[in-house]
Amino acid sequence: MENQGILRIGIVGSGNVATHLAKAISLSKHQLTQVLSRNLERAKILTNNTDSEAIDKPSMLNPKLDILIFALKDDVLHSDFISQFPKDLILCHTSGSVSMEAFINFPNHGIFYPLQTFSKQKEVDFKEIPICLEANNQAVLHKLHSLASSLSNHVYEINSQQRKALHLAAVFACNFTNLMYDISEKLSQESGLDFEILRPLIKETAAKVQDHLPTEVQTGPAARNDNNIIEEHLKLLSNHRNYKEIYQILTNVIKTNNEEL
């Protein structure tokens, strides 16, 4: 007899997303059944301490899998790699930028996109990670929803156009934000200051927008229209052509936002 409502999940991949996903699924009510990686040893790291099986060939896939999640680099999703998989499986991928059409030759497919920045060495609380779903039919959506809601308290259904916009927004919220941290680190280091001084400020800046909109809590010389300080900062940046250009354009955007308020 089948276990009611318990899904058998396979993961393809052994990188950061696959690692965190495998762990979260193995702790959920659903079953992590198989992890497939071209590198069997890496697949075994993910299946270690779980009831699941590490495999290295699509032909070894369990035909009873309910969902097969591709947690791979974008370029692999475009390749012939996918055509090797059985047509009767539900296939989905975790990419923010690859279209659902990657699976167009499969009758049942979707997207399972966890919006977070993962590193192998850092634990994350999967319950807090937004999971964005899309599917080519309601039956698939229902199954993806069942899995997602067992892993996270924040499940969203978004379409491909929204997912692209979200991925772009995430570049600003995460990648470009990290570059701002990086520039602040380099500027402080140049003056013999430890980056440690800036860490509490970084933490609090992120904490503030957890219950406010960023536009409500914008501070600093540009928001105050304090042109004396801005001029002084531009002078300090005279040896950093790129940073100076970034300072100028970001300052102008903040000033323009202020005028529009």
**Token pair for 194:** 């430890």
Whose Cβ is closer to a second copy: residue 64's or residue 186's?
A: 186
Whose Cβ is closer to a second copy: residue 80's or residue 204's?
A: 204
Whole-angstrom distance, CA of residue 142 vs CA of residue 34: 21
What is the closest distance, in whole angstroms, from the C-beta atom of residue 259 to a second copy in the complex? 13
- CA-to-CA dists, residue 15 to 19, 202, 203, 261, angstroms: 6, 28, 27, 44
CB atoms closer than 10 angstroms to residue 154 = 15
Whose Cβ is closer to a second copy: residue 24's or residue 68's?
A: 24
What is the closest distance, in whole angstroms, from the C-beta atom of residue 138 to a second copy in the complex? 21
**Token pair for 130:** 């937004």
What is the closest distance, in whole angstroms, from the C-beta atom of residue 73 to a second copy in the complex? 8
What is the closest distance, in whole angstroms, from the C-beta atom of residue 19 to a second copy in the complex? 15
Q: What is the DSSP pairing of strand 90-93 with strand 109-114? A: parallel
3-state SS, residue 133: strand
Whose Cβ is closer to a second copy: residue 83's or residue 225's?
A: 225
What is the closest distance, in whole angstroms, from the C-beta atom of residue 148 to a second copy in the complex? 13
Whose Cβ is closer to a second copy: residue 70's or residue 247's?
A: 247
Instruction: Find the angle CA(210)-CA(122)-CA(42) to the nearest 5 degrees.
Output: 135
